[in-house]
Chain A
């Protein structure tokens, strides 16, 4: 069944989009990530203009992170104060990101920049995760106890000034890295259309030493607002949010997420991480190939004057 997307201005198949949403929802439920990093590239592969894929991806992320955050709120695994500080940084980063986005679009380099960011970030995160999870898998197979970092261990981040107490996370840490992390994620959110969970979660665990049980809830909480803000600003400055497209993806996504979460409980942590790493790497490689292969057409047209 074909449907015409009002903003993207192309006809697409409803079932393809629902299935895309459901598949990404399933994976995001399974791995506990928002899925924006999968949705946006998939949309680009499906010929949605990158600018619209990014803005709509951000819109779609709100739905999955909102529904996830609700369940974490109920379980009490959400640190509102930490989320709030991350959010303050996020708004600043996101505003900067939107500005860069509009500038790149005017220069005609937006598509390239989005692809490059994806290749670099997904490639790095996917590669690191794969190495880590394969090592963990090997360690468990050989019977050795997994090596955990001591919780009392401190790094340079904990020596920074302007300390603040986050009770729910049992944390006493400087606000500078928290704000910085929030800003970085906000920037990526507005340029890449991702929530940033796949960077936020490891950063909170390894850099700030936030207890793992509150990490996902808090990350989701801040992602709701960052991506909501990103969506709003994209809608007002670039008019690139396609509600029709976003809704189809969300509808598939929220359903898929629940089944994914159930399936995820059957797999072991390191197996899950290895699978996710391979998935992330596959997306990165696919995008990288597009950068290097000679395009079928060297010339492209775009409206001038419009940004």
Chain B
């Protein structure tokens, strides 16, 4: 353990000294890089979920540590943050009604994790909390901070639960595989209802349970095809879209009468 600490200290030193000319004695610190083959992914109307592969490499990896499998990598694909309202149904006079609600600011719409090993084996819960890493450690900021902590906790848990149930928050244990000592491949799940927008891919490098370095890249997810054009028109030119919907209905009614007329 002492050796480990010493090493961590050395790594820190070399990081601090990075701007200065290299300090010869300490080995250069490990770092991690990820690369995306494209910076935009277009999904079509029939999209039913997919696996996104992200390649990455370790730099200055210690061959001995690598051989012993003490490097761990966690890759996260995080969707754009949006405000979310969580509502709870309660029974009022026998009828189920949305009563209590809690609004959270900046909740990532999606959050897919891929890891080399189960999360609890990589590092301790405290480090996850500090890094805000993993769906259960994400900090969801409530809009109304005056609510009781118990309530906030309950709704935060419900929010995670719902996100996981719809596949938007997922965890792929073993989804990161080392192809060689330095090269790894991460497979993250894209849910069928993956939101469009700018997603952030982040890779975290751990060595024997210690967080070493993080690297990130951006990915734009777009929907393409006819349905997406319809969606865009409905939002950008909503009045014209409405006029079109009405005209289409009248035309269909008129044509239907011409074709199927019985009088």
Contacts and interface: CB of A to CB of B under 8 A. Distances in A.
Tell whether A and B belong to one assembly. yes
Given A298-B88, A301-B159, A302-B87, A231 B193 contact: no
Given A257-B256, A292-B94, A241 B242 contact: yes
A254 B242 contact: no
Contacts of B85: 108, 301-304
Interface string A91-127: 0000000000000000011001000100000000000
Contacts, number: 178
Contacts of B45: 4, 6
A39 B123 CA distance: 54
Contacts of A237: 238
A13 interface: no
Interface in B50-75: none
B153 interface: no
Contact of A305 (B83, B88, B228): B83
Q: Interface size bucket, B side?
A: 35 or more
Contact of A300 (B46, B87, B249, B253): B87
30 contacts: A4-B45, A5-B227, A6-B228, A9-B193, A9-B231, A59-B245, A62-B253, A63-B252, A67-B257, A71-B257, A71-B263, A108-B85, A108-B98, A112-B97, A228-B250, A232-B239, A232-B246, A235-B234, A241-B245, A250-B249, A253-B256, A261-B262, A293-B96, A295-B89, A295-B96, A297-B162, A299-B162, A303-B82, A303-B83, A304-B83
A246 B241 CA distance: 13
Interface in A246-300: 246-247, 250-251, 253-255, 257-259, 261-262, 291-295, 297-300
Interface of A is mostly: helix
Contacts of A291: 95-96
A7 B234 contact: yes
**Top 3 A-B pairs, shortest CB-CB distance:** A254-B256, A235-B242, A66-B253
B151 to A, nearest CB: 13
A293 B257 CA distance: 42
Nearest to B159: A301
A134 interface: no
Interface string A228-247: 10011111110101011011
A32 to B, nearest CB: 14
Nearest to A10: B193
A254 B245 contact: no
B245 A250 contact: no
B166 to A, nearest CB: 8
A300 B159 CA distance: 8
Contacts of B263: 71
B46 A112 contact: no
A287 B231 CA distance: 30
B98 A254 contact: no
A97 B257 CA distance: 31
- A: interface residue count bin: 35 or more
Nearest to A224: B250
Given A66-B254, A291-B95, A299 B86 contact: yes
Nearest to B105: A304
A258 B262 contact: yes
A190 interface: no
B103 interface: yes
A71 B258 CA distance: 11
A6 B253 contact: no
B108 to A, nearest CB: 13
Contacts of A261: 262
A255 B260 contact: yes
B249 A60 contact: yes
A4 B249 CA distance: 20
Interface in B147-205: 155, 158-159, 161-163, 165, 193
A243 B227 contact: no
Contacts of A294: 96
A246 B261 contact: no
